[in-house]
């Protein structure tokens, strides 16, 4: 399959440079123009991806060459961009920031893989001509990148904007495609918290936000010029794919509400492709688990909802009882917190489901942050011994008492996990990790979930009778 789709990568010099503001404003403008958009986030990120989905109206996909093989990343981009008029990719961190001194897995490397032009967002606070020198340095640092233009952020006024614009266009020979002033009280359009921005599921000013983003784009971005720069004659090739043909054979529940939102779409789709019917469950409102053959609990913010979660003791008891009975459960980060004994936050202790005898505490600084790698060394329901799992972690919570004995499944080759270089709490058919995984890079995971769910389904005698559900009838929400 060969495609030629208009595409842009929005990159920055560092985190907090204004990439997300520019990307969201651009997406709001493109949506207002009624263009069909495909949207992507570079790197391991759930919250920014959720906002990109929310503003664009399209399901955002993550592109990460550490979590997923570069060929798979390219295939995913082509498959999800081929029917759109324009594809927008938001980078992460600085343009050249990767896992090593060569920028492996950086936004720049991704842009080259996608043969995409780059728009560089630059924070101009307390600088003028030096901005052009920085841009010139980026051009020279990797001449194989196509830095097609620049958007200035935090511009102090017209004079400030003019000297930076004139200097960049003269010495860097690329256009300035927008200049966003210091926005004052509107600078933080979306409030933040300890893991980044507040997710869309907890934000209640959507119409006002969309209007502000459209105004920023209209007043400060050169939308028509950005659209012209996005046009791309370089074709991308990916293999033809056929839709999954398996009918649903098991029912897999997953927590899906304002608490648990951290799911890569590909993880849920992989379960469906392997034959699962996905059953959304509210951790706040449902009082017991429905009739399911396995449970998937993703990440999120259980600490900020800890009181409400603890009040729903009926569901916690249902989860624990089902796990003791052998229900397969796979949990990541926030899901791990839910399954542990308790969580302490802001001088309060909240009882959780208590499947694992582990007490956690929220710290002021991240306990684990970044790419990780774990090696499976203990028998468990979902991974083979010896399997190497590439993942990522970002958690402020950690164990309060290292002397507590608990069984784990994996050695952390890189990263923190639970501490003491271990991750993967296990009990019967349950496994909980601080490490997040991407199904595109862990091909065996979904199949193992289905296999374990089928075994449990048969063991309990299929109390609801035989069923054959139309595959994929549950849509995966952004």
257 burial (CB, 10 Å; 0-12 / 13-18 / 19+) is middle
Handedness of CA 372, 270, 387, 424 (dihedral sign): positive
Beta-strand (E) ranges in 13-135? 37-42, 61-63, 86-90, 117-123
Under DSSP, is residue 360 helix (H, G, I), strand (E, B) or coil? Answer: strand
DSSP 8-state secondary structure symbol assigned to residue 454: H
Residue 478, SS3 per DSSP: coil
Q: Is there a catalytic annotation at residue 60? A: no
365: left (phi over 0), alpha (psi -120 to 50) or beta: beta
Phi and psi angles of residue 169, each rounded to the nearest 5 degrees, phi first? -70, -30
Task: Check 60, 124, 172, 333 and give the catalytic one.
Answer: 333
Helix (H) or strand (E) holding 285: none
Task: Determine the Cα–Cα distance for residues 23 and 13; give it in Å rounded to an integer.
Answer: 15
61 has which bridge partners? 40
Give the whole-angstrom CA distance, residue 55 versus residue 470. 31
Nearest to 413 by CA among 389, 445, 384: 389
List, in sequence order, every residue forming a beta bridge with 119; answer none if it has no partner. 10, 149
Positive or negative: CA dihedral 464, 469, 471, 476: negative
CA dist list (Å): 101 to 78, 98, 229, 411: 29, 7, 30, 26
Candidates 176, 151, 218; CA nearest to 12 is 151
Question: What are the start-end ranges of the H helices in 68-157?
Answer: 70-81, 107-114, 129-141
Kindly give the residue spans of alpha helices, DSSP state H, lying in 388-475: 443-459
What does residue 9 show for φ and ψ, rounded to 5 degrees? Answer: -105, 125
| Active-site residue list | 333
């Amino acid at each position: 399959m060969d495609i030629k789709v208009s595409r842009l990568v929005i990159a920055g010099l560092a985190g907090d440079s204004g990439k997300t503001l520019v990307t969201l404003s651009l997406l709001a403008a493109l949506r207002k123009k009624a263009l069909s958009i495909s949207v992507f986030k570079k790197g391991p990120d759930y919250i920014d991806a959720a906002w990109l989905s929310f503003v664009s109206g399209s399901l955002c996909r993550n592109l990460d060459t550490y979590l997923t093989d570069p060929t798979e990343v390219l295939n995913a981009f082509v498959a999800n961009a081929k029917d759109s008029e324009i594809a927008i990719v938001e980078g992460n961190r600085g343009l050249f920031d990767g896992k090593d001194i060569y920028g492996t897995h950086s936004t720049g490397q991704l842009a080259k893989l996608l043969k995409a032009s780059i728009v560089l967002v630059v924070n101009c606070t307390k600088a003028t001509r030096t901005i052009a020198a920085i841009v010139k340095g980026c051009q020279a640092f990797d001449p194989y990148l196509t830095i097609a233009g620049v958007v200035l952020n935090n511009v102090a006024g017209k004079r400030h904007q003019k000297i930076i614009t004139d200097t960049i266009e003269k010495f860097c020979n690329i256009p300035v495609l927008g200049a966003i002033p210091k926005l004052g009280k509107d600078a933080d359009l979306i409030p933040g918290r300890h893991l980044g921005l507040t997710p869309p599921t907890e934000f209640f000013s959507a119409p006002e936000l969309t209007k502000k983003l459209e105004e920023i784009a209209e007043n400060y971005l050169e939308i028509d010029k950005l659209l012209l720069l996005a046009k791309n004659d370089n074709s991308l090739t990916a293999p033809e794919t056929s839709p999954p043909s398996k009918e649903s054979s098991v029912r897999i529940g997953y927590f899906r509400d304002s608490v648990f939102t951290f799911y890569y779409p590909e993880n849920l789709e992989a379960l469906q492709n392997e034959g699962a019917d996905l059953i959304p469950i509210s951790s706040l409102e449902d009082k017991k688990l429905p009739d399911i053959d396995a449970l998937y609990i993703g990440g999120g913010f259980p600490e900020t909802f800890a009181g409400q979660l603890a009040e729903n003791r009926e569901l916690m008891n249902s989860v624990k009882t089902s796990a003791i009975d052998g229900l397969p459960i796979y949990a990541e980060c926030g899901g791990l917190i839910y399954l542990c004994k308790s969580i302490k936050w802001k001088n309060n202790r909240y009882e959780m489901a208590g499947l694992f005898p582990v007490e956690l505490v929220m710290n002021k600084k991240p306990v684990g942050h970044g790419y990780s790698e774990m090696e499976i060394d203990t028998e468990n329901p979902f991974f083979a011994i010896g399997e190497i799992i590439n993942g990522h972690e970002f958690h402020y919570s950690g164990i309060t008492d290292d002397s507590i004995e608990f069984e784990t499944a994996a050695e952390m080759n890189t990263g923190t996990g639970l501490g003491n270089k271990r991750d993967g709490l296990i009990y019967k058919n349950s496994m909980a990790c601080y490490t997040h995984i991407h199904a595109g890079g862990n091909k065996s995971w979904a199949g193992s979930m289905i296999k374990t769910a089928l075994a449990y389904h048969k063991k309990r005698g299929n109390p609801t009778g035989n069923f054959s559900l139309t595959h994929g009838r549950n849509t995966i929400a952004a």
